[in-house]
Amino acid sequence: MKLFTLLSLAVIALPTLAFAGEPVNTICPFTGNPVNPEVTAQVGEDTVAFCCGGCLNGFKKWEESRKVAYVAEQKAEKVQVETALAVTTPYLLDTCPITGKPLDSMGGVVIEVIDGREVRFCCAGCPPKFKADKEAKFKEIDAKMIAQQLPYYPLDTCVVSGDKLDSKGAAVDFIFGNRLFRTCCNDCKDEFLADPAKYLPELDKAIIKEQLKSYPLTHCVIGRGPLDGMGGPDYMIVGNRLVQLCCAGCRPKVLKDPLKVFAEIDNAK
């Protein structure tokens, strides 16, 4: 899976997806091996994990300032990963969540990131109204995004357990980072939210495999040249849809106006 962070969003401080007490690192700072979550040290309120007791003892010999700097570095990397997961899918609806009007109906689109999610509005007066009733407004746009993305979802199995989506009664459909995910139950949903990166590659692989069969374009929708002209094709997933590009450098332009890109792909079919 190809993750990336938009430069304009790189400094956004997103709420952590980790549980309280979960180590800030997954790799031992001494050996580079995966950590044992039961071999840990505390740095203030943060937990650092190690692969073995020997490395733990080595860490205890560090100056306090070095420990604090290491924790800050690990937390910054986690924010970058969460930013990539949460914000690489842009707002995919064509209407303002407040007025219901087309996004360009007031002369220009206003873009804000709210709770780690991009939301687009028709004017500057709408974001404060959205934030004033944020929970209800997110529910409204989530319902629309689920309906929009469901036809393109490639799996009939739970992205976490691998069981059939209806194995426990009915699928649980939810939006994370403006993208639809489906699980067989709420327990699996909670497991997904605890570590989204663990489950994304399987879904991305399924999307690419399924949508390549009927992908109608042989040229890049941004660069306009052949898909292999710049070493590609580069596979980009936007809202559970495959977009083929000539190189990763074209990705930011897709995010700027994804609906225009989708329209070109659909018209080619």
Distance separating alpha carbons of residues 171 and 165, to the nearest angstrom: 5
Distance separating alpha carbons of residues 32 and 91, to the nearest angstrom: 38
Q: Is the dihedral of CA 117, 120, 121, 125 positive or negative?
A: positive
pLDDT score of 163 more than 90: yes
Exposed e or buried b per residue across 42-71, where buried means at least 16 C-beta atoms within 10 angstroms of its C-beta: ebeebbbbbbeeebbeebeeeeeeebeebb
- Of 11-25, 54-68, 117-131, 231-245, least confident by mean pLDDT is 11-25
Q: Is the model more confident about 238 or about 86?
A: 238
pLDDT value at residue 229: 84
Q: pLDDT category, 22, cuts 50, 70, 90?
A: confident
Q: pLDDT category, 81, cuts 50, 70, 90?
A: low
Q: Residue 177 contacts by C-beta under 8 Å, 6 or more apart in sequence?
A: 85, 86, 87, 88, 89, 116, 117, 196
Cα 182 from chain centroid (whole Å): 15
10 Å Cβ neighbour count for 216?
Answer: 10
pLDDT value at residue 217: 96
pLDDT value at residue 88: 66
119-151 per-position pLDDT tens digit: 999 999 999 999 999 999 999 999 999 999 999
188-208 per-position pLDDT tens digit: 999 999 888 888 888 999 999
pLDDT value at residue 84: 56
Q: pLDDT category, 13, cuts 50, 70, 90?
A: very low
Exposed e or buried b per residue across 90-115, where buried means at least 16 C-beta atoms within 10 angstroms of its C-beta: bbbeebbbbbeeebeebeebbebbee
Using CA atoms, how far residue 132 sits from 53, 87, 99, 128, 225, in Å, is 50, 21, 15, 6, 45
Q: What is the average per-residue pLDDT within 84-95?
A: 79
Q: Residue 224 contacts by C-beta under 8 Å, 6 or more apart in sequence?
A: none
Provide the residue type at 107 as one letter: G
pTM of the full structure: 0.69
Q: To which residue do tokens 């629309």 refer?
A: 144
212-268 per-position pLDDT tens digit: 999 999 999 999 999 988 877 999 999 999 999 998 889 889 999 999 999 999 999
Distance separating alpha carbons of residues 161 and 102, to the nearest angstrom: 39
- Spatial contact of 106 and 122, defined as CB atoms under 8 Å apart: yes
Q: Provide the CATH topology of domain 153-203.
A: Ribosomal Protein L24e; Chain: T; (2.30.170)
Distance separating alpha carbons of residues 265 and 243, to the nearest angstrom: 8
Every domain of the chain and the residues it spans: 7-87, 89-152, 153-203, 214-269
- The 3-class SS string of 28-88 reads CCCCCCECEEEEEEEECCEEEEECCHHHHHHHHCCCHHHHHHHHHHHHHHHHHHHHHHHHC
SS3 call for 227: coil
pLDDT score of 5 more than 60: no
Percentage of the chain lying above the pLDDT 90 cut: 69
pLDDT value at residue 10: 29
pLDDT value at residue 213: 95
